[in-house]
Each structure stands twice: as structure tokens, then as C-alpha cells.
Amino acid sequence: MTRFPETVKFYNEIKFGVEVLDQMARQYSPKSASRRWPPHVFFNILDMAAINAWILYKEVTGTKISRHDLLFELAEELMESYTT
């Protein structure tokens, strides 16, 4: 039987949440193909912020809204301030 370090055991216990977040981020990601690391970091932060906003919106309002619909609504509201 192989003994794993405590850090590996801890990661294996909590990795489920990280994998779910990655899977959700891949669904509606604005990522573009780039070889530079700053855009990747920016888009990862953007993905996480969008997922967190969706979770908070559902909890605070008590409504059931798909992530796609929330992102579309958010994009429209952000666009309004620049189209007037």
C-alpha cells in the first residue's frame, strides 16, 4: 500500500469543487487562443467571477435562472451604459 503525503490526501478530498468549477467555466468561457499567460489569468478570473455572481444571485434573489441567461442579462446591462 502506497502512503501519500498529507497534502495529496487533502487535495483528493477537496478536488471535487475545483473540478466542478472548471467544468462550469468551460461551458461559457470567453477565453481566446493566446500563448501569453496574462490573458489566460484574466479570463480565468472572469470565469470565476461570473460563476460566483451566478451563485450569489440565485441565493440572494431565490430565483432559478440559468447561468447562460444571467450572463446574457449582465452583458446587456453593461452594454447599456455604453450605447447611450
- pLDDT tens per residue, range 48-79: 888 899 999 999 999 999 988 998 998 898 89
How many other CB atoms sit within 10 Å of the CB of residue 47? 20
- Cα distances from 83 to residues 16, 71, 72, 79, 80, in angstroms, run 41, 18, 16, 6, 5
Q: 22 lies in a domain?
A: no
Q: 73 lies in a domain?
A: yes
**Domain limits for position 80:** 38-51+62-84
Residue linked to cell 434573489: 61
Measured between alpha carbons, how far is 15 from 42 in angstroms, rounded to an integer?
22
- pLDDT tens per residue, range 21-46: 777 777 777 667 778 888 888 888 88
Q: 31 lies in a domain?
A: no
Q: 17 lies in a domain?
A: no
Total tally of structural domains belonging to the chain: 1
The pTM (predicted TM-score) of the whole model is: 0.65
Give me the numbers of helices (H) and strands (E) for the chain, helices first please. 3, 0
